Amino acid sequence: MYRFRHYLLLLGVMTLLPSTALAAKERSVEAPGPQGVLAGTFLDAGAKKPVVLLIPGSGATDRNGNSLTSIKPATLRLLAEGLAEHGISSVRIDKRGMFGSARAIPDANNVTIHDYVMDVQSWINTIQHQTGVSCVWVAGHSEGALVALASASSVKPLCGLILLSAQGRPPGEVLRSQLHAAPGAQVILPQIDGALNDLEAGKTVDPQTLHPGLRTLFRPAVQHYLIDEMHYDPAKLAAAYQGPMLLVQGGRDAQISPVADFAPLKAAAPKADALYLPDANHMLKDVQGTDKADFMKAYTDSTVPLDPKLVPHIAEFVLNH
């Protein structure tokens, strides 16, 4: 289930903290799923502490923010551990049909954004039952931020939203810009645009009519998910939500644009808190210069730390509310 952002990255190119206290407070947790349990990791910062639910990004990305490929930045695990040091608990989760949540549904591709929203509600119910908190913060990274936004109108009780490297345009527009920028894409632009236009119109595409480099991206197994996802407009969802919201964007993000995505979200939610990290990439780790090896290390090496401003700012935002 490698959806577009991981696929494009490949085209273009758990270690715990020393503290044993963190390990002692970390445990597995389960929530009810549609056909089997949803699985996650609860990092407990103590009784009556705020709890943040962490939603991973697109494709086969696990609760720690790692994929089945070489992409293993552990962004969500590092964030959870950092928040625990500030007295904030977290639950990071595997999506239905994947990894520890494989029993929830037999086909991880047979999902919609609404399905993921239902799972967010199940997790909130479980967290409330186990901790007694009055509400739960929902944080999503990349595509997970779209799930968080889609959840805002219905899940309860919600403390607020934390949107990390979030798309600000409908997914079809984001994918179109990513594909147009991919190496060698100019020669197949009509096929790219034609396929995306059909999906946006709710029509499936025959991948065998496409260039071989596009067939995995537009394979039949994921087309219905893409069709569903393309109906969502993140900026409109952000404008409709009136609760606390934090927007986080890296200036070196090669997948989500600080101009085309971050700016529309800020305009749609002018009261939201916003954190711009000029040196951070999509995984919210700092990269310097233009060295490809340095860029890739931030994606593949979990020991590369998060931007130093990220965790303190999120912690301050949560604790102030």
- Number of H helices and E strands in the chain, helices first, is 13, 8
Per-residue pLDDT at 294? 83
**Do 190 and 155 belong together in one domain?**
no
Q: Which of 240, 108, 274, 262 is nearest to 174 (CA)?
A: 262
Q: How many domains would you assign to the chain?
A: 2
**Do 35 and 110 belong together in one domain?**
yes
Q: What span, in angstroms and rounded, lies between the C-alpha atoms of 99 and 250?
A: 28
Q: Which domain does 133 fall in, by range?
A: 14-170+233-320
**Do 92 and 215 belong together in one domain?**
no
pLDDT, tens digit, 9 for 90 and up, residues 249-295? 999 999 999 999 999 999 999 999 999 999 999 999 999 878 888 88
**Do 194 and 118 belong together in one domain?**
no
Residue 89 lies in a domain: yes
Compute CA 41 distance to the chain's CA centroid, rounded to the nearest angstrom.
Answer: 16
Task: State percent of the chain over pLDDT 90.
Answer: 87
**Do 73 and 180 belong together in one domain?**
no
Residue 163 lies in a domain: yes
Final residue in a domain of this structure, among 199, 223, 247: 223
Per-residue pLDDT at 1? 42
Per-residue pLDDT at 309? 98
**Do 47 and 102 belong together in one domain?**
yes
Cβ neighbourhood burial of 16 (10 Å; 0-12, 13-18, 19+):
exposed
Counting as low any pLDDT under 50, the low residues of the chain are 1-24
Q: What span, in angstroms and rounded, lies between the C-alpha atoms of 90 and 175?
A: 30
Prediction pTM value = 0.92
Residue 148 lies in a domain: yes
Per-residue pLDDT at 141? 98
**Do 39 and 166 belong together in one domain?**
yes
CB 94 within 8 A of CB 62: yes
